[in-house]
Amino acid sequence: MTKQKLELTWIGKGEEIKLEPRILIEDPGKSYGDPKSENMLIHGDNLLALKALEQDFAGKIKCIYIDPPYNTGNAFQHYDDNLEHSIWLNLIKPRIEVLRSLLSSDGFFCCQIDDSEGPYLKVLLDELFGRSNYLTTFYIQVRYANKTLSEDNAFQKLIEQCFVYAKDYTKCNPIKDLEEYKIEKFEWEIIELDKGEILELGRKKVELFRPGKYKINKIEASIKGLKETWATGSLIKQKASSGEFLDKYLAPRKELDGLGCLYKVYGIGEDGLGYRYFTGPKKTDATKGKFYSGVPLQRVEEILKGNTKKEIPIANYYDLSGNFGNCRTEGGADFRGGKKPEKLLEIIFKHFSKNDDWVLDSFIGSGSSCATAHKLGRKWIGIELGEHAYTHCLPRLKAIVDGSDKSGITEDISWKSGGGFKFYELAPSLLRKDKYSNWIIDEKYNANMLAAAMCKHESFKYFPDADIYWKQGKSTENDYIFVTTSFVTAEQIDKIHEEMKPDESLLICAKSFAPGCNNRHNTITIKKIPQMILGKCEYGKDNYDLNIINVSKEEETDEE
């Protein structure tokens, strides 16, 4: 019987895109600030740009946030996302696949969307990330209830969703807010007089203290601590509650363990301690015991010193309607269609990354995610195809480096100035067809660009040796690549072989070479370009975009 799986299907699904592994070319005239900065602002098709990043950044990005065109059927100033649903899915799927490969094993993927494609996107993400790696959905109020858009018709769209996934649920650790324990009456102290006996009940570790091995004293103190609660009938009906555990696993042990025992059950309770104490029946006719929640006496001094804090669960609803309404000119970038406020990005990046982590957004629009990441001290990569990479993102990020940007979260986090970024253009396709329809190397590629491009195609790291000309890149410590447009002779190969160490190997990529060069030495392989890479990927295509064009402005009206 064929194994079946739950998945979303659509027209065109499964048609493979053979992406060309392009190189990125820095434009020093647009790079800005600290020349040592690793931050990257990339102009070009985001699918090709993501593929270009894959070799150097696979497994390194801690948090990815994307805000793709929503496919709402309405035109915006910078995006026309009126795409047929299957086309939208075919365009978004390969991007998410590459993005997932860039995530670190403990990384997070966050994708904001509305309900036009949201349900379909959720099923697709379940398939690509695995349903077990779904963490939560943030529900974000983006407009006031009395703010009406032209597309609202009978129903208003006030809420958007941000789906949050882990690369690997077992390794992720979202950052939660902390709070001090509250001060209130402390009623009980439990003192362990000796080590208990280790049991396993209900898949939980349990430490059993028999009478004489523990003490319970009623005391008074000004700290939140042990609270005595009877395991009442209503309590034990709560699924996975302390009362249920007491009733199901501990009360029946009266005959086995005897009366008056104390049980320390690990992995239960809502107070963040990691364990909870229970007492079994003290009389032969008793059927219930008690459980004690809170802080045992040995931790009181630690709490009073302020060393113990409690994690607060991450919220999943945020009313940012005011922030969305006021962010249109945030950062000096007037971007009216779908702009996200820095406050939203601050929430996401603070939960799912920390200082110096890499964050990435491949649909940066006006640059809100990069701006926020920069102010928060994250290392960032932003990709944008449209002209607003120049007109919006570039000046906005320069202003942040200079410290002249006072908008967004600047004052909240006391951002001053500093840092920098490098500006990159996506290189053109390596190959093009000549007038006879033959594939040739594009003349825009100089020797260094060609070497870097061939390294990507052959899975080598471009790393030219300062002294040995034929060591232009390497895949291992002893495996090198040499790319040349010159005619290669057998004598040249012999000379290179003399310079090679016994454990070294070399791949030579040349436009032409003399007969007898191949198989001349078993540690040297020679291949002809461009023939060696034809058919590996799609050349000459510069645009896999989501139909991003300049169209009419979004229409809005206000209703009092």
pLDDT digits (tens, 9 = 90+) for 327-370: 666 655 555 556 789 999 999 999 999 999 999 999 998 899 99
Dig out the tokens for 511 from the structure.
């436009």
Of residues 26 and 3, more confidence is placed in 26
Rounded Cα distance, 143 and 378, in Å: 29
Rounded Cα distance, 141 and 158, in Å: 6
Averaged pLDDT score across all residues of the chain: 83
* Among 53, 85, 54, CA closest to 69: 85
Lowest mean pLDDT among 46-50, 123-127, 204-208, 549-553: 549-553
Rounded Cα distance, 135 and 555, in Å: 35
Rounded Cα distance, 418 and 398, in Å: 10
**8 A C-beta contact, residue 108 and residue 64:** yes
Q: In the 8-state DSSP scheme, what is residue 523?
A: T
Q: Residue 298: its pLDDT value, please? A: 46
Dig out the tokens for 104 from the structure.
């670190």
Q: Which residues contact 322 (CB under 8 A, 6 or more apart)?
A: 144
pLDDT (mean) for 104-129: 95
Of residues 547 and 60, more confidence is placed in 60
Rounded Cα distance, 380 and 41, in Å: 8
Determine what percent of the chain is predicted with pLDDT higher than 90: 57
Encode pLDDT of 293-314 as tens digits. 444 444 544 555 555 667 788 9
pLDDT-derived band at 3 (thresholds 50, 70, 90) equals low
Encode pLDDT of 485-508 as tens digits. 999 999 999 999 999 999 999 999
Confidence check: pLDDT of 129 > 90: yes
* Among 479, 420, 438, CA closest to 32: 420
Q: Residue 250: its pLDDT value, please? A: 81
SS3 letters across 465-480: CCCCCCCCEEEECCEE
| 3 state DSSP class of 28 | coil
Pairing relationship of beta strands 556-558 and 147-149 according to DSSP bridges: antiparallel
Rounded Cα distance, 298 and 215, in Å: 13
Q: Residue 1: its pLDDT value, please? A: 54
Confidence check: pLDDT of 221 > 70: no
Secondary structure (DSSP) of 342-376: HHHHHHHHHHH--TT-EEEES--TTTHHHHHHHHT
pLDDT-derived band at 412 (thresholds 50, 70, 90) equals very high
Please report which helix (H) or strand (E) contains residue 457, including its range.
helix 447-457
Of residues 189 and 370, more confidence is placed in 370
**8 A C-beta contact, residue 48 and residue 307:** no
Q: Residue 15: its pLDDT value, please? A: 86
SS3 letters across 63-114: EEEECCCCCCCCECCCCECCCCHHHHHHHHHHHHHHHHHHEEEEEEEEEEEC
State the CB neighbour count (10 A cutoff) for residue 299.
16
Dig out the tokens for 385 from the structure.
């195809």
Instruction: Identify the bridge partners of residue 441 per DSSP, sorted by sequence position.
Output: 431
Rounded Cα distance, 439 and 511, in Å: 12
Lowest mean pLDDT among 284-293, 294-303, 414-423, 513-522: 294-303
Encode pLDDT of 243-289 as tens digits. 677 778 887 787 788 888 888 888 876 555 677 788 777 766 655 55
Of residues 47 and 7, more confidence is placed in 47
Encode pLDDT of 80-103 as tens digits. 555 678 888 888 999 999 999 999
Confidence check: pLDDT of 147 > 80: no
